[in-house]
Amino acid sequence: MSTVSSTRNAAVIGHGHDLGKPVGLGLVLIAMMPLVIMPLASVFIFGLKEGPIHFWEVLSAPEALFSIKLSLITSSAATVCNVIFGLLAAYVLSKYDFAGNSALMIVISLPTAIPTAVAGFALLLLWGKHGLIGYYLERYTDFEVMFTTAAIILANIFVTFPLAFGVIKPALDNFDRSYEDAAETMGASRWQTFIYVVLPSLRGALVTGALLTFARSVGEFGSTIMVSGNLAMKTQTAPLYIFTKFNEGDVEAANAIAVVLAVISFAVFSLIIFTRNRLER
Amino acid sequence: MAREVMVTLFPETQAFAERRPEARAALSVSHLTKRFGPEPILNDVSFSVEEGESLVLLGPSGSGKSTTLRLIAGLENPDAGQIMIRGKRVDEIRARDRNVGVIFQHYALFPQMTVAENIGFGLKIRKVRARDREPVINRLLELIGLADQRDKYPSQISGGQAQRVAIARALAYEPDVLLFDESFSALDPQTRVPLRREIRTLLRKLRIPALFITHDQEEAMELGDHIAILNRGRIEQIGSPSDVYNDPQTEFVATFLGAANVMRGTWRDGLIHLDSDRYLAPVTGVPPLADGERVKVIFRPEDVSLGSATGLIETPYHLGRGEITDVSFTGATENLTVRLLTYSQSGNLVLPRGDSGRSSFSSFNNGSNSDFIIKAVRTKWDARRLRLRTGDRVTVGLKSYKALGSE
């Protein structure tokens, strides 16, 4: 990758004065200003305008801290589930040919296209008191899923379902089968081949997929508000906290959390870039 | 047909074929058949490799040679036939239990492992502890001369080094047989040739039986104690490199392994009457054919001898007069294209009609299938004795030829 871009740069320099770079970059930045950069900046400016001490006070309110903690926990759980699932699905879909291969691909990718509120509603229909699973679950185990942490995790899993898969699948498709053949002739079982040969080649895709899933989960709002009940100190995630505080007119509290979420996603995407450069040899 | 004639004709080959699949064989394959779809890609293939010996499977792409390797390695399952490795039948056991070493075309070194880790992988899988693997890895690194590269990743070493690592990786767990899948084709010639010699020496030293798959005849000649020539899923001939080159038993073998001229004719009255209105006296090894049966006459460019148009020729067989249509000098040898002349109705010698040089543009190595166009090679000494240029008329003779019953 780096060789490609460096040769391209060399060609540009060779031509002397190519205006493509400064003009193109300028256009991108100008477009991004009102669309992305300024809104983001205003979050930071408003969040921090009363000074760091005030910022910290707002942030350290128990409800605020709880919401961040809950968001991190539920997002991590959803990430673990979806990476494992994405790996399995990608392996099966790229290794085996079967009828309905494409249909399965489409179904896996569907959650990205469904409005998150609808996703939440759909989960309510299934897991709620009168839903197909929820009814029997409550009847036989006395366990209620809706309006608990489990419900938030379910919503996160649904919404971010295809993200890890979407990153791992192409990596596996590009994986040279002769590595597996080589491992097999050397005496490795299918499982050993997977652990020692396939998995290490996918570590870049796995980490990227996980970070994408996590970043998307942390910010999830629409489905969460449908299934969580938005109970402070119980099922209120960070985005729900922001929404609630904003409705109550407490813009400062909302903003403080927004700053934290922005920092988290900044960190996550920095890690993604770093991972791409380091792990994908 | 042609094949059956061949088998009875060359008893030494049959004896050879019978001797090979005996108990001493390190690897033997019998009646191997594999289909992908209705057409068999491999059709009743049998051969064996003895202890310490190397066999080259030589054939064009699509001849089934890679399939043969994959069947032996266990990466595909045969539709019929048997595979034995060191007396044990393996065609029904899994690839990982066969204990073969495969050197893949692009080596398939694991990219996330260092050179040393790659070499140690087979031992790790066999539950050999790290501290016991270390001396083996070191010995192999020493053997392939890459001790200083042990901690590099495959992406950081050259193609030739990668191939050596692939061999070391396969040797580490002491396989019963080594299989090389077009392992030299990805290397440039400057690396390929010396590496080939190195590997031949190494195999001789270690006495490990090896099977090479290649489409490169030069490679086959150099690496194989024996060569099996595969064409459209069947073995056409097995023999030592000099056997298959000097005594080809099919037209395919003759033309695939080096350059060859092929002329067609009919057997009549104890002579071969060529379609180009010439006749040749029989040589040894001519099949006992009925009068009127079709015959193929095969001879190599170096078997052609050229004399001046007026002079007599000393070779045993006379082909008549010809005209030089092309001369090229390669350094050690001179390559010539000769067009045989024919008699016109008025009795004059003329260039034949209706055969307008259909092979004169083909490359020299392809030989010629025309009944009138002949490829010839002369040493620089012969070239110096009788200088020839395009347009010169010559007398054409043959030092030897091979006649095959044709279908």
Over residues A119-152, the pLDDT tens digits come to: 999 999 999 888 888 888 888 888 888 899 999 9
User: Does A199 lie at the interface with B, CB-CB under 8 angstroms?
Assistant: no
The Cα–Cα gap between A120 and A30 comes to 37
Name the residue among A186, A201, A203 with its Cβ closest to that of B122. Answer: A186
Taking 3-state DSSP, the helix, strand and coil percentages for chain B, each rounded to the nearest 5, stand at 30, 30, 40
pTM of this structure = 0.80
pLDDT at position B17 is 43
- DSSP structure string for chain A: -HHHHHHHHHHHHHHS---HHHHHHHHHHHHHIIIIIHHHHHHHHHHHTT-HHHHHHHHTSHHHHHHHHHHHHHHHHHHHHHHHHHHHHHHHHHH---TTHHHHHHHHHGGGGS-HHHHHHHHHHHHSTTSHHHHHHHHHH----TTSHHHHHHHHHHHHHHHHHHHHHHHHHTS-HHHHHHHHHTT--HHHHIIIIIHHHTHHHHHHHHHHHHHHHHT--HHHHHHH---TTTT--HHHHHHHHHHTT-HHHHHHHHHHHHHHHHHHHHHHHHHHHHH--
Cα–Cα dist A245/B245, whole Å = 90
What is residue B317's predicted lDDT score, i.e. its pLDDT?
83
Chain B residues touching residue A183 (CB < 8 angstroms): 110, 121, 125
Q: CA nearest B143: which of B176, B107, B119?
A: B119
CB-nearest to B102 from A182, A197, A281 is: A182
Facing A187 at nearest CB: one of B96, B104, B153: B96
pLDDT number for residue B362: 37
Residue A251 in tokens? 């813009």
A109 Cα distance to chain centroid: 14
Please tell me the distance from the alpha carbon of residue A217 to that of residue B385, in angstroms, as a whole number.
Answer: 88
Nearest residue, CB atoms, A179 vs list B96, B102, B110: B110
Cα distance between residue B374 and residue B378, in whole Å: 13
User: What are A49-101's pLDDT values in tens digits?
Assistant: 888 888 888 889 999 999 999 999 999 999 999 999 999 999 999 988 888 88
Please give the average pLDDT of every successive group of 10 residues along chain B, which has 407 residues: 35 43 77 90 94 94 93 95 94 94 94 96 95 95 93 94 94 95 86 88 89 93 94 95 92 90 85 79 67 87 88 77 90 90 67 46 41 88 89 90 77
Q: Is A196 on the interface with B (CB under 8 A)?
A: yes
Check residue B332 and give its pLDDT. Answer: 84
Residue of B nearest to A177 (CA): B108
Mean pLDDT, rounded, for A2-31: 69
Suggest the residue from A179, A186, A203 to mutate for an interface test with chain B (most B CBs closer than 10 A): A186
Beta partners for B376?
A: B336
How many CB pairs (< 8 A) connect A and B?
68
- As a whole number of angstroms, the distance between CA A120 and CA A222 comes to 7
Chain A nearest CA to B238, separation (Å) = 27
CA–CA separation, A42 vs B107, rounded Å? 55
* pLDDT for the residue A61: 92
Is residue B212 within 8 Å of B105, Cβ to Cβ? Answer: no
Rounded Cα distance between B375 and B369, Å, is 10
Structure tokens at A120: 């939440």
Q: How big is the CA angle at B262 (ends B259 and B266), to the nearest 5 degrees?
A: 165
Q: Pairing between strand B54-58 and B226-231?
A: parallel
- Nearest residue in B to A280, CA atom: B112
Confidence band of A276 (pLDDT split at 50, 70, 90): confident
Q: What is the pLDDT of residue A51?
A: 84
